[in-house]
Amino acid sequence: MGEDVWKIIEEEVERPSIFKSKESLTPEYIPDTLPHREKELKELASYFKHLVSSPGSFSQRVLLIGGVGTGKTATARVFGRDFTRYALTKGYKVKYAHVNCHSNRTLYNVVADMSRQLNAPLPSRGLSAREMFEALLTYLDETDQYAIISLDEFHYFASLAGRDAVYFIVRAYDVFETPVKRLNFIFISQDTAKLSLLDPSLESYLLRHMIKLEPYTSAQLLDILRYRASKAFYEGTYDDTVLKFIADYEGHDKGGGGNARHAIEVLMIAGVMAENEGAKRITLEHARKAIMKISRDIVNVSEAINYSSLHELLILLAAVRLLRRTGNPYVKIGDVEKEYELVCETLGQQPRRHTQVYEYVMNLKKAGVIEAKSSGKGMKGRTTLIGINYGPLDMLEQYLLDLIKRKIAIGAT
């Protein structure tokens, strides 16, 4: 290693940081406590208390509803982590598994991920979803264990996997009649409207036990930011003025989205900006710049975008570039496919066939990332039109390009 490179690395690594624990501001972080979700945690404890009072007597299914950034995932994870610890003190083995339905889009993948997280010793291939599920139930019986499974972004699974797959999961014990019911579920969704494609009786069944998380107010967000900042930064590197500015910007009562994830991301970016400038404190100016840097709309769909496959992202990038270049609200799928081929060539990727491209476009539509509609009357020939109703597109283009390059670098498909 050259002396100049060594010096650059050494100076950067040994430079004092205002961050004590940057991971405390990441979406993956599971906090020790959840300010302003005590009521919802209490409801979950009430729904699942049978696991320590009369375990196996029935299988509980709860629907957890809330918009982006209302703490659905964090609430489920914190509950799962701490309930399993509590159950152990009472002599019961209860496990928790959190399955993301963006990355597990089929019934087979959902059941496989459930089994993996519960450490069920199943062969890696050769079993159907039904056989795997049956083997999982046998494993839980043999080891005398119970489980709470959270299916995150459940509406996405419902739209892609279809009614039969949803019925299989939701009404599992109608299919597998066993005296001891060891599996319990939390279905996490953005809103009930996204479940409307289900069979009415199935939707009604899910709505019986529903917990709804409301968007956060500015006062609630201030409490959340205070907690996260105390974990993430050294004392004296920030103050309440900055945290209140971010909370007021995002608070639902002040016209914001009430999105804690977005508020925390703004704080993270403000901290990184301050550190890159060599500042010892995060200022209001850093917070203002951080808010300008990210788009609330892009953050709202960022989870769906992050879990999209590489070629779905390449198609999305092609659509964004066409929409920017033409200035039109919609572009034809054929034009997007041509642009996609150019994008693939530039980034050294092999473009997929037309039928696969159409399937990717439909996946993006179902995830709420794009609009896709038939051209209808007034246009020669029938085609699919693609549009994006959020932005700004220049920020989205850069966001996608960075994400695509990271996926290519780690060999993601």
Rounded distance between C-alpha atoms, residue 52 and residue 261, angstroms:
33
Q: Which residue has the tokens 């967000």?
A: 221
Does 413 appear as a known binding residue?
no
Annotated binding-site residue? 29: no
- Annotated binding residue 73: yes
Strand order in the sheet with 94-100: 94-100, 146-152, 183-189, 61-66, 210-213
Sign of the C-alpha dihedral computed for residues 358, 360, 362 and 368 taken in this order: negative
Q: How many CB atoms lie within 10 A of CB 314?
A: 27
| Annotated binding-site residue? 192 | no
* 71 known ligand binder: yes
Adjacent-strand bridge partners of 61: 185
Instruction: Measure Cα distances from 129 to 117, 135, 168 in Å.
Output: 16, 10, 10
Helix H, strand E, coil C: the string for the chain is CCHHHHHHHHHHHHCCCCECCHHHHCCCCCCCCCCCCHHHHHHHHHHHCHHHHCCCCCCCEEEEEECCCCCHHHHHHHHHHHHHHHHHHCCCCEEEEEEECCCCCCHHHHHHHHHHHCCCCCCCCCCCHHHHHHHHHHHHHHHCCEEEEEEECHHHHHHHHCHHHHHHHHCHHHHCCCCCCCEEEEEEECCHHHHCCCCHHHHHHHHCCEEEECCCCHHHHHHHHHHHHHHHECCCCCCHHHHHHHHHHHCHHHCCCCCHHHHHHHHHHHHHHHHHCCCCCCCHHHHHHHHHHCCHHHHHHHHHHHCCCHHHHHHHHHHHHHHHHHCCCCEEHHHHHHHHHHHHHHCCCCCCCHHHHHHHHHHHHHCCCCEEEECCCCCCCCCEEEECCCCCHHHHHHHHHHHHHHHHHCCCC
Q: Is 263 annotated to bind ligand?
A: no
In angstroms, the CA 153 to CA 103 distance is: 10
108 among annotated binding-site residues? no
Give binding residues for ATP as ranges: 70-74, 216, 228
Q: Which residues are annotated as a binding site?
A: 70-74, 216, 228
